[in-house]
């Protein structure tokens, strides 16, 4: 029947202890040992009740937060698979263009910031609010070495307790994230790069949003949405729209790969303000084109991109599994209430919260985060 292949909420604890007591009693007196030890066995079983209940709480917690744990694991694997730490690169890259540049070289995942390398001019242009450097004066690494040294990598920070961990709540982390979320920079770009094919098109990048205000109106805790957010796409949805017939023949994956694998030394900034060796800057060439010539085309491309992003969202979302997971948790609440003779009203309330959360998740939609004009030309 395979009843004992998995933990049954502490049952394995009490059965193991009772088995040992029975064996000891029989070894001590094969004829009457079990009868003599009966009272001791009952007392021992009663004492183990607390341990069993604690184990049940652990199992309940693992059940309730299983979706959230799976989501966190997915995100961690997403970043961990990048050899050069994708998250740290993104944070440092944004901080650099906003005026907060780290020291070089960065070794063993360690990052050093100095107030002297902060660029006020870049910060003004990007509306970047720098961290309060005085907060770090009491940290052990600053007191010992006189420098702000830390890491964005949790594993490195855990091994080196003497360094800073740049995570939510830290001044550097909060300053970079706040600027990245609130700043309009990086929303639009025009890029040229060599590649294995010729391409001219727009690449739309969408993030997934759900109508959180409906949860607030229904007094549903936002933690419930976070618990099941993993069943919606966690990564951005990228939709390339070719502007020519030949460009539309290029497979979508190849276009996306060309954009995501750009090399800094092989990128031509088509929207730069400076003319360089040219008589007119690329930006001026674009701005001199009458809007009535390109606005209708952009409107059509944008509408098509949104339709395709919506289709991708529906394909990648796994709301059926989310619904099954919610039912599994509700059944756990129901069984717990029956076992401990608790009011079923709590179960009904939790079911209502899950129903509202699932309804909101079904209303998730792609929101345009940025768009890029991409021009790829074959080598030679």
Looking at the structure, do residues 218 and 232 belong to the same domain, yes or no?
yes
**Overall average pLDDT of the 355-368 stretch:** 95
* Stronger pLDDT, 357 or 19, i.e. the higher one: 357
What are the b/e assignments for 273-301, b being 16+ CB within 10 Å?
eeeeeeeeebbeeeeeeeeeeeeeeeeeb
Model-level pTM? 0.67
DSSP string, 136-147: GGGSHHHHHHSS
Who contacts 267 (Cβ-Cβ below 8 Å, separation ≥6)? Answer: 191, 192, 193
161 lies in a domain? Answer: yes
pLDDT for the residue numbered 256: 93
pLDDT for the residue numbered 76: 62
Q: In angstroms, how far is CA 48 from the centroid of its own chain?
A: 41
Band of residue 118 on the pLDDT scale cut at 50, 70, 90: confident
Residues spanned by the domain of 108: 82-182
Q: What percent of the chain has pLDDT over 90?
A: 27
Looking at the structure, do residues 235 and 276 belong to the same domain, yes or no?
yes
For the chain, what is the domain count?
3
pLDDT, one tens digit per residue, over 44-97 is 666 666 666 666 555 655 555 666 666 666 666 655 554 456 678 888 888 888
188-195 vs 164-165, strand pairing mode = unpaired
For residue 115, give Cα distances in angstroms to 63, 118, 132, 359.
46, 5, 10, 48
**Overall average pLDDT of the 201-229 stretch:** 91
Average pLDDT, the chain: 81
69 lies in a domain? Answer: no
5 lies in a domain? Answer: no
- What angle, rounded to 10 degrees, do the helices at 49-64 and 66-80 form? 60
pLDDT at 201 over 90: yes
pLDDT at 346 over 80: yes
Q: Which of 140, 156, 182 is the last residue of a domain?
A: 182
pLDDT for the residue numbered 23: 76
76 lies in a domain? Answer: no
Q: Residues in the chain, how many?
A: 380
Instruction: Please give the helix or strand (H or E) that residue 265 lies within, else none.
Output: none
Looking at the structure, do residues 356 and 241 belong to the same domain, yes or no?
yes
Selection from 318, 323, 320, 312 nearest residue 366 by Cα: 312
Looking at the structure, do residues 260 and 353 belong to the same domain, yes or no?
yes
Selection from 228, 367, 248 nearest residue 309 by Cα: 367
Q: Which of 182, 207, 232 is the last residue of a domain?
A: 182
43 lies in a domain? Answer: yes
Peptide bond into 105 cis (omega under 30): yes
Q: What's the farthest any 2 CA atoms get from each other in the chain?
A: 107
pLDDT for the residue numbered 4: 45
* Weakest-pLDDT range from 35-49, 106-120, 216-230, 288-302: 35-49
- Please check whether residue 309 is in contact with residue 204, taking contact to mean a CB–CB distance below 8 angstroms: yes
Looking at the structure, do residues 318 and 294 belong to the same domain, yes or no?
yes
pLDDT, one tens digit per residue, over 289-301 is 788 888 999 999 9
pLDDT, one tens digit per residue, over 241-295 is 999 999 999 999 999 999 988 887 888 888 777 666 666 777 777 777 788 888 9
**Overall average pLDDT of the 9-18 stretch:** 60
77 lies in a domain? Answer: no
**Radius of gyration of the chain measured on its C-alpha atoms:** 29
Selection from 49, 41, 64, 44 nearest residue 10 by Cα: 49
Paired residues of 199 in beta bridges:
376
Looking at the structure, do residues 161 and 33 belong to the same domain, yes or no?
no
Looking at the structure, do residues 207 and 263 belong to the same domain, yes or no?
yes
Looking at the structure, do residues 192 and 177 belong to the same domain, yes or no?
no
188-195 vs 100-102, strand pairing mode = unpaired
**Overall average pLDDT of the 299-308 stretch:** 96
pLDDT for the residue numbered 313: 96
**Overall average pLDDT of the 15-24 stretch:** 72
Looking at the structure, do residues 198 and 280 belong to the same domain, yes or no?
yes
* Stronger pLDDT, 2 or 256, i.e. the higher one: 256
Looking at the structure, do residues 111 and 192 belong to the same domain, yes or no?
no
73 lies in a domain? Answer: no
pLDDT for the residue numbered 137: 84
- Please check whether residue 117 is in contact with residue 86, taking contact to mean a CB–CB distance below 8 angstroms: no
Q: Which tokens go with 102?
A: 């780290």
Looking at the structure, do residues 36 and 156 belong to the same domain, yes or no?
no
Looking at the structure, do residues 200 and 95 belong to the same domain, yes or no?
no
Q: Where are the alpha helices (DSSP H) in 1-85?
A: 11-28, 33-36, 38-47, 49-64, 66-80
Q: Which of 182, 215, 234 is the last residue of a domain?
A: 182
């Amino acid at each position: 029947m395979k009843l004992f292949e998995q933990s049954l909420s502490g049952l394995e604890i009490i059965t193991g202890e009772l088995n040992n007591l029975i064996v000891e009693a029989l070894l001590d007196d094969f004829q009457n040992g079990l009868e003599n030890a009966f009272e001791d066995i009952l007392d021992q079983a009663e004492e183990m009740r607390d341990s069993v209940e604690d184990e049940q709480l652990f199992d309940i917690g693992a059940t309730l937060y299983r979706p959230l744990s799976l989501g966190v694991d997915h995100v961690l694997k997403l970043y961990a698979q990048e050899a050069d730490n994708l998250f740290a690169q993104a944070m440092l890259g944004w901080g650099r263009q906003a005026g907060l540049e780290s020291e070089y070289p960065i070794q063993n995942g360690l990052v050093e910031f100095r107030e002297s390398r902060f660029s006020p001019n870049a910060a003004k242009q990007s509306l970047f609010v720098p961290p309060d450097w005085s907060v770090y004066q009491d940290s052990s690494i600053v007191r010992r070495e006189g420098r702000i040294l830390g890491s964005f990598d949790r594993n490195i920070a855990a091994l080196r307790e003497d360094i800073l961990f740049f995570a939510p709540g830290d001044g550097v982390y909060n300053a970079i994230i706040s600027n990245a979320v609130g700043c309009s920079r990086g929303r639009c770009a025009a890029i040229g790069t060599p590649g294995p094919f010729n391409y001219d098109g727009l690449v739309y990048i969408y993030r997934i949003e759900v109508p959180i205000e409906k949860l607030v109106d229904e007094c549903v805790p936002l933690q419930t949405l976070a618990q099941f957010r993993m069943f919606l796409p966690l990564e951005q949805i990228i939709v390339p729209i070719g502007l020519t017939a030949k460009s539309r023949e290029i497979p979508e994956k190849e276009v996306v790969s060309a954009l995501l694998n750009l090399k800094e030394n092989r990128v031509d900034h088509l929207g730069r303000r400076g003319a360089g060796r040219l008589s007119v800057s690329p930006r001026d060439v674009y701005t001199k084109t009458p809007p009535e010539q390109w606005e209708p085309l952009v409107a059509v491309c944008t509408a098509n991109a949104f339709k395709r992003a919506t289709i991708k969202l529906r394909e990648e979302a796994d709301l059926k599994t989310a619904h099954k997971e919610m039912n599994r948790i509700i059944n756990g609440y129901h069984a717990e209430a029956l076992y401990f003779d608790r009011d079923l009203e709590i179960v009904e309330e939790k079911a209502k919260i899950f129903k509202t959360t699932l309804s909101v998740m079904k209303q998730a939609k792609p929101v345009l985060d940025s768009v890029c004009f991409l021009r790829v030309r074959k080598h030679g």
